[in-house]
């Protein structure tokens, strides 16, 4: 009989009983840099369209979708989307901060993940 706790900690298990995608490997550096560029452009557009809230919302939704495609299903994207939906907080470069923090945090993991793949 295998231990359910050990099985739940396995990297290939699907959290929440298969309702959430598998644990994703870190994106490549090029994808992370592209996400940072998309986030910066989005924040600039968002500030430009402050007087047009429907356009600003559209920019934020498109940004969330593009970042989701570039980075995968990452939890930090959800609070950023919520922060962008709050009118007062949308003046801060939230997308750029999240993408930059993600790029900074994943700088060593990508190389480690590639090393693990070569060993297998």
> Does 77 map to a domain?
yes
Residue 16 lies in a domain: no
Contacts (Cβ under 8 Å, ≥6 apart) of 10: none
Residues 6+ apart with CB under 8 A from 36: 96, 99, 100, 103
If we measure between CA atoms, which residue out of 57, 92, 54, 96 comes closest to residue 77?
A: 96
* pLDDT reported for residue 5: 47
User: What residues make up the domain containing 96?
Assistant: 27-119
pTM over 0.85: no
Write down the pLDDT at residue 101: 86
Does residue 103 belong to any structural domain of this protein? Answer: yes
* CB 95, CB 43: distance < 8 Å: yes
Structure tokens at 88: 């007062």
**Contact between residue 113 and residue 25 where contact means Cβ atoms under 8 Å apart:** yes
Please provide the average confidence, as pLDDT, over all residues in the chain.
76
Report the number of distinct structural domains present in the chain.
1
**pLDDT digit string (tens) for 79-104?**
888 888 887 787 889 999 989 888 88
pLDDT tens digit string along 34-50?
999 999 999 999 888 88
Band (66; pLDDT cuts 50, 70, 90):
very high
Q: Does residue 20 lie in a domain region? A: no
């Amino acid at each position: 009989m295998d231990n359910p706790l050990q099985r739940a900690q396995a990297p290939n298990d699907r959290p929440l009983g298969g309702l959430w995608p598998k644990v994703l490997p870190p994106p490549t550096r090029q994808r992370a840099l592209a996400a940072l560029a998309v986030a910066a452009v989005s924040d600039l557009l968002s500030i430009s369209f402050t007087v047009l809230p429907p356009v600003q919302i559209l920019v934020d939704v498109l940004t969330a979708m593009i970042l989701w495609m570039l980075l995968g299903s990452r939890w930090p994207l959800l609070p950023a989307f919520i922060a962008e939906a709050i009118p007062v907080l949308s003046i801060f470069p939230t997308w750029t901060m999240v993408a930059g923090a993600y790029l900074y945090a994943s700088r060593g993991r990508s190389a480690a993940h590639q090393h693990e793949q070569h060993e297998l």
